Amino acid sequence: MTSRSALLVLADGRFPAGGHAHSGGAEAAVRAGRVKDAAGLESFCRGRLHTTGLTSAALAAAAAYGLDPAALDAAADARTPSPALRAVARRLGRQLMRAARATWPSARLDALAAMYPRGAHQPVVLGTTALAAGLDAEDAAYCVAYETVGGPATAVVRLLGLDPYQATAVLARLVPEMDQVAERAAAAARQGIDALPAASAPLLDLTAEQHAAWPVRLFAS
């Protein structure tokens, strides 16, 4: 069993890795009227969790298994059709790398940073960070599953003035599904890189491209 406390440090929304400036597509969904309340937030988060959440969690788990990070980064590129989201994933990967190297110094993180000075895909960095923190592939997958829904929930509290208790209750209702997604992701990663899922959410890809072109927005993505 790995250290639960290390997992809490890494999964904490206060971990300074740049996520606070991103809504995970929630800002575009709010503007389009698809998320207006807690129920809308729940649907949005559920969709994101089972699509990009699963894919990202498996990439992170595979990195925490110690699979080749360059191959995983290419796999992440192949699974991210939106150029805007590829740029976001690398920017967040670079920001996470900074926090990770200061928090859990490791040769493996240094090597990944040297290979991708402009940032590797965030899930690949997260899996490598988990390894540096003494965590395992499942922990990495749980971390991604949680941040997949935690980020949009916080953003929607800011965007709609949604009752924060309701937003947190949404997260609590998604707990069983987060567990399933994390377990599925870790199981897939155990099968090797060719077995990694490629679930995607085309609407998130499309709205991410539109959002990136807005002149006025609260979140970077």
Partner 1 sequence: MHLDHGHTSHGAISADARRPDGTRRALRIGLGGPVGSGKTATVAALCRVLRDTLSLAVVTNDIYTREDAEFLLRNAVLPPERIQAVETGACPHTAIRDDISANLEAVEDLEDTVGPLDLILVESGGDNLTATFSKGLVDAQIFVIDVAGGDDIPRKGGPGVTTADLLVINKTDLAPHVGSDLARMARDAGEQRGELPVAFTSLRAEDGIAPVADWVRAQLGAWTA
Among 74, 84, 99, 193, binds partner 1 (CB under 8 A): 99
Residue 121 interacts with partner 1 (CB under 8 A): yes or no: no
Please count the residues of this chain forming the interface with partner 1, following the rule CB under 8 A: 32
- Residue given tokens 């800002």 in the structure block: 27
> In this structure, how many other beta carbons lie within 10 angstroms of the beta carbon of residue 130?
30
| Contact call for residue 1 and partner 1 (CB under 8 A) | no
The CB-of-168 to partner 1 minimum distance in angstroms stands at 18
User: Could you give phi then psi for residue 26, rounded to 5 degrees?
Assistant: -70, -35
Piece of 38-46, 110-118, 164-172, 175-183 that binds partner 1 (CB under 8 A): 110-118
Determine if 213 is a binding residue for partner 1 (CB under 8 A).
Answer: no
Query: Which member of 59, 140, 155, 201 binds partner 1 (CB under 8 A)?
Result: 155
Stretch that binds partner 1, among 47-55, 153-161, 176-184, 185-193 (CB under 8 A): 153-161
First to last CA, the chain: 35
CA-nearest of 205, 195, 200 to 54 is: 200
Q: What is the dihedral of CA 41, 174, 151, 164, to 10 degrees?
A: 60
Cβ-based burial of 84 (10 A; exposed 0-12, middle 13-18, buried ≥19):
middle
Binding residues for partner 1, rule: CB under 8 A, are: 14, 16-23, 91, 94-96, 98-99, 101-102, 105, 109-110, 113-114, 117, 155, 158-159, 215-220
